[in-house]
Structure 1
Amino acid sequence: MSEAVKILLVDDLPENLVALEALLRDNQLAIYTATSGEEALSLLLEHEFALALLDVQMPGMSGFELAELIRGSSRTSHLPIVFVSAADREQSYTFRGYENGAVDFLYKPLDHHAVKSKVRVFVELHAKSRELRQQLVELEAARAEQEGLLAALQAAQADLQRALKMRDEFMSMVTHELRTPLGVMALEVELRQRRLDRGDLAYFNGERLQSMLAKDSRQVRSMTRLIEDMLDIARIQHGKLSIRPRHADLGELARAIVADFTALYRDVPLGLEAQDGIVGEWDDSRIGQVLVNLLSNALRYGEGRPVRVDVDRAPDGMARLTVTDQGMGIPLADQRKVFEQFERLPAAAQSPGMGLGLYISQHFVQAHGGSIQVHSEPGAGARFTVLLPAAPGPSAA
């Protein structure tokens, strides 16, 4: 049901108000009456009227004076005013009324049909004006919505372009990373085949076979690692990363992984200090992969300087794994970026890798309810700290 249109009637004689209200009574109208200019002004502050019918000759404040005040206020300056007068229709009198903002005059005795007709016109104009304002509000809301949709569409298009660019770069990197070990293996196979074709079996002595197997193993590990990274990325993006927690000792896990790296990187001092009893419910294969990723980066960018691994308990009781190198370091502005997929720092652009290790590691750690942070300064190395929920230590127990 639509809101009733409000009409203001002002006359100092109550009987005139009663008669005029009875004449205009309608279900679609809400009629307010005032017997003085002051009372009318009070009502005008509280309500929005479609029309005001003012008696001109009132004691105190006349209808003309009231009209001047109405026109002087920004809140009511638009209000249509019809003067009701018993005076003669002199031109000067009528001119003064229009000068004070009148849109029409009604002369007593009132013609009932004329009064109803004039009021109906202003009521319809008010309804049209209100409808137009509502349409303008709706149009503005629709425009704002369209702007929002356009901005969202532009953002989606930009995201799509970035995704396409990332896909192309990803495929290029995958191709490069796979081609390198495959190329090495293909060359090795060709050289060995030539030796066999010439019947040079003496070439394949025990020491040389051991070296060949070590090379093949490195290339296979490189390709396997790349494929596992790609699978992990897909699982993370589809929310299907699986974590199988079990009771694990972080110190034992670190010792095993550091021993493997020590055998592979004999030219780089690799230190470990692990406290006993740092245990928790973790997926040791995932946490092991986090440490492998951190160590790989530390050795890759550590410029051959010592790398250190520490396992202890943080002050808040969390298990803490720290990998520290003394390499090129990471500028503060880039320290957030290193955890984004395919993000590689300009200084590391010539090094092998796809920029996935830290992105995957962060998701692995977060899946355990932990966190991973980096502290670094350019030229002063980097320290990566992993915090994991741990079982209470002896002191806590």
Structure 2
Amino acid sequence: MPTDPSEIETKLLIVDDLEENLIALEALIRDPGRRVFQARSGDEALALMLEHEFALAVLDVQMPGMNGFELAELMRGTERTRTIPIIFVSAAGRELNYAFQGYESGAVDFLHKPLDAHMVRSKVSVFVELYHGRMALKREMEALATLHREQQALVAELREARADLERAVRMRDDFMSMVSHELRTPLNTLYLETQVRKMHLARGHMFFFTPERLKETAERDQRQIQAMVRLIDDLLDVTRMRNGRLSMSPQAFDLSAMAARVVAALAQQAEAAGAAIHLEAPEPLTGVWDEFRLEQVLTNLLTNALRYGGGKPVDVNVGLRGEEAVISVRDRGIGIAPEDQARIFQQFERAESGRREVASGLGLGLFITQQIVQGHGGRIELESTPGEGSTFRVVLPFEPPSAEDAA
């Protein structure tokens, strides 16, 4: 949008050693929107030019000390003042050829005294208009430069948004692939088990249906069904968290008893992993928490410890730290690299350093675990060294946060 010239302040400088000449010249060139500065010497004029931006300088040639030509030479040698247009004024006769010397000094015009009022006003107006045009162009160029920078920033934001979108699409595709794989594995196992049983029944192999074999088969079926139920529960929990509807029902219960119950429930899984779970817990350690959700937290941590523990013992400790309860789960497995330790708590994320190859999963367990712990006003601490194992500590206050604190 073009700049209105009336919005541009115009500063004019007049330099003469005689007060009456300054007064007369200012009366000629004064106009609304113009601000006239007076200087009675070259030094005073230079000081003003270093402080203000002038559209025009009108210099008297014959001044004591520094004359107009010498002042012009100094102006042309200074970066800040070299572009100021100069009009020389002289009372000397034309035969002295001052005009030629003035133009050599960088003047744009030359006036002889006595001054013609109409000519002075016309010449000054020309340079004021030129200054307005130059300033308007400068402002428009600055506006264009600003617009260009804003456009560049917008392009960068769009590129970043595109990269985020592409990453989200890749995550979606990876997630759907993981879900399909994770659900297909137990379903395929159940399907094959069913086909084998049908084949034995068709061939009359009843020795495959003894009570002992039926018990083993039922337990295998139950494990596969529980695996699918757990995957579905994890997906539902993530959906509830996104909608802010993860239910919490805090009630007083014994944390040590809950830990013992979870360890016992995972005994068969620990045996299959070739590991032993050691529990140390005081009796009782009672607080107000959501028992079902904390069972979910400890189950997630223990399941991970068994997956990645390399068949080595897993330690579970329940205890006190000041006025907070602490549950710690330590394995002696492959550990987690420092660069992965924050990322593994994000949804659909798993560590890169070898853990993907050890076990599959949706990468939701630690995300859900952290959300549940934070919902209790607690936090999770992680210590891990690659090749030496990991320790996860769940630190909980004994009372749930109030509604105001949770908000």
Indicate the residue corresponding to 2:86 in structure 1.
Answer: 81
Per the TM alignment, residue 308 of structure 1 is displaced from its structure 2 partner at its CA by 0.7
Indicate the residue corresponding to 2:396 in structure 1.
Answer: 388
Structure 1 residues 276, 2: closer, same or farther in 2, change over 3 A? farther
| Alignment-mate amino acid for residue 159 of structure 1 | D
| Matched positions, count | 391
Structure 1 residues 279, 143: closer, same or farther in 2, change over 3 A? farther
Per the TM alignment, residue 336 of structure 1 is displaced from its structure 2 partner at its CA by 2.7
**1-side partners of 2:256 and 2:354: how far apart?**
32
Indicate the residue corresponding to 2:293 in structure 1.
Answer: 286
Per the TM alignment, residue 161 of structure 1 is displaced from its structure 2 partner at its CA by 1.3
Indicate the residue corresponding to 1:322 in structure 2.
Answer: 328
Whether the 8 Å contact between 2:340 and 2:351 is mirrored in structure 1 is no
Measured on the aligned residues, the alpha-carbon RMSD in Å equals: 2.2
Per the TM alignment, residue 14 of structure 1 is displaced from its structure 2 partner at its CA by 1.4
Determine helix, strand or coil for the equivalent of 2:69.
Answer: helix
**2-side partners of 1:233 and 1:107: how far apart?**
88
Per the TM alignment, residue 77 of structure 1 is displaced from its structure 2 partner at its CA by 1.4
Identity percentage of aligned residues: 50
Q: Do residues 300 (structure 1) and 340 (structure 2) align?
A: no
Determine helix, strand or coil for the equivalent of 1:170.
Answer: helix
Determine helix, strand or coil for the equivalent of 2:162.
Answer: helix
**2-side partners of 1:54 and 1:323: how far apart?**
88
**2-side partners of 1:239 and 1:68: how far apart?**
75
Q: TM-score, normalised by structure 1?
A: 0.91
Per the TM alignment, residue 279 of structure 1 is displaced from its structure 2 partner at its CA by 3.7
Whether the 8 Å contact between 1:368 and 1:388 is mirrored in structure 2 is yes
Per the TM alignment, residue 239 of structure 1 is displaced from its structure 2 partner at its CA by 4.1
| Alignment-mate amino acid for residue 265 of structure 2 | D
Moved more, 229-238 or 167-176: 229-238
| Alignment-mate amino acid for residue 290 of structure 1 | V
**2-side partners of 1:218 and 1:288: how far apart?**
18
Indicate the residue corresponding to 1:246 in structure 2.
Answer: 251
2:146 to 112, 133, 141: 141
Moved more, 260-269 or 170-179: 260-269
**2-side partners of 1:131 and 1:278: how far apart?**
77
**2-side partners of 1:67 and 1:302: how far apart?**
85
Matched ranges for 1:77-226 at <5 A: 77-90=82-95, 92-197=97-202, 203-226=208-231
Structure 1 residues 71, 252: closer, same or farther in 2, change over 3 A? same
Whether the 8 Å contact between 1:10 and 1:35 is mirrored in structure 2 is yes
| Alignment-mate amino acid for residue 100 of structure 1 | S
2:375 to 347, 351, 367: 367
Moved more, 128-137 or 331-340: 331-340
Per the TM alignment, residue 318 of structure 1 is displaced from its structure 2 partner at its CA by 2.3
Per the TM alignment, residue 247 of structure 1 is displaced from its structure 2 partner at its CA by 2.9
Per the TM alignment, residue 53 of structure 1 is displaced from its structure 2 partner at its CA by 0.6
Moved more, 131-140 or 173-182: 131-140
Per the TM alignment, residue 16 of structure 1 is displaced from its structure 2 partner at its CA by 1.4
**1-side partners of 2:355 and 2:175: how far apart?**
17
Structure 1 residues 241, 51: closer, same or farther in 2, change over 3 A? farther
Q: Do residues 53 (structure 1) and 45 (structure 2) align?
A: no
**2-side partners of 1:129 and 1:251: how far apart?**
81
2:77 to 65, 72, 77: 72
**1-side partners of 2:184 and 2:248: how far apart?**
31
Structure 1 residues 260, 137: closer, same or farther in 2, change over 3 A? same
Structure 1 residues 311, 98: closer, same or farther in 2, change over 3 A? same
| Alignment-mate amino acid for residue 334 of structure 2 | M
1:269 to 270, 276, 279: 276
Determine helix, strand or coil for the equivalent of 1:102.
Answer: coil
Runs of 4+ in 1 over 4 A off after TM superposition: 195-203
**1-side partners of 2:95 and 2:170: how far apart?**
83
Indicate the residue corresponding to 2:404 in structure 1.
Answer: none
Whether the 8 Å contact between 2:336 and 2:353 is mirrored in structure 1 is no
Per the TM alignment, residue 283 of structure 1 is displaced from its structure 2 partner at its CA by 2.3
Indicate the residue corresponding to 1:395 in structure 2.
Answer: none
| Alignment-mate amino acid for residue 25 of structure 2 | L
Whether the 8 Å contact between 1:56 and 1:63 is mirrored in structure 2 is yes
Whether the 8 Å contact between 1:290 and 1:364 is mirrored in structure 2 is yes
**2-side partners of 1:136 and 1:280: how far apart?**
68
| Alignment-mate amino acid for residue 381 of structure 1 | G
Determine helix, strand or coil for the equivalent of 2:349.
Answer: coil
Indicate the residue corresponding to 2:3 in structure 1.
Answer: none
Indicate the residue corresponding to 1:236 in structure 2.
Answer: 241
**2-side partners of 1:370 and 1:325: how far apart?**
22
Structure 1 residues 282, 141: closer, same or farther in 2, change over 3 A? farther
**2-side partners of 1:173 and 1:60: how far apart?**
90
Moved more, 65-74 or 302-311: 65-74
**2-side partners of 1:186 and 1:134: how far apart?**
76
Whether the 8 Å contact between 2:8 and 2:135 is mirrored in structure 1 is no
Q: TM-score, normalised by structure 2?
A: 0.89
Determine helix, strand or coil for the equivalent of 2:388.
Answer: coil
**Deviations 1:148-203 (Å, cap 9, x if unpaired)?**
11111111111111111111111111111111111111122223334455566675
